Amino acid sequence: METEMLLAPCGMNCSICSGILRTKPICVGCASEQPKPRSCEHCVIKRCAQDKPDGTCMTCPTMPCARLKRLDARYRSKYGMSMIGNLTFIREEGLPAWNEREFHKWQCPTCGNLLSAHKSTCLSCGETNPYYVIRKP
């Protein structure tokens, strides 16, 4: 595998976030101590997960809590990905298997760069993102 995926405390794959994939201003991921977008800085889930042994919701006895369920439902309906699914997969299969799965799943079939879960096309070549959920008006 060529790329190590960045796991956020909630189970988001930060590597496929448009904040990391865009050129300016670039985000460094939820787990980093460097400055991040306001939404990440003030994330209630991230603050809660700081107290967990691995810094994620995965080891929380109440996983998935109501907040994580709401976030997961929004991401499943808008972006075709599941944070709870990611955390469950990592717990059952391990982080290396998740990294491998995510790298291959989100790799653009045309240019090989990572697709963004938040965009309908590849930010590098414009290829259609097959995982992006088409929203109806």
- What's the burial of 31, exposed, middle or buried (CB within 10 Å: 0-12/13-18/19+)? middle
What gap in Å lies between CA 71 and CA 77, rounded to an integer? Answer: 10
* pLDDT score of 97 more than 80: yes
* pLDDT score of 136 more than 60: no
Q: Which of 94-98, 102-106, 129-133 has the lowest mean pLDDT?
A: 129-133
Residue 114: phi and psi, rounded to 5, are: -75, 140
Most confident of 4-8, 36-40, 58-62, 110-114: 110-114
Residue 129: phi and psi, rounded to 5, are: -85, 110
Tokens of 82: 């599941």
Q: Output the pTM of the full model.
A: 0.84
What gap in Å lies between CA 59 and CA 2, rounded to an integer? Answer: 27
* pLDDT score of 35 more than 60: yes
* pLDDT score of 37 more than 80: no
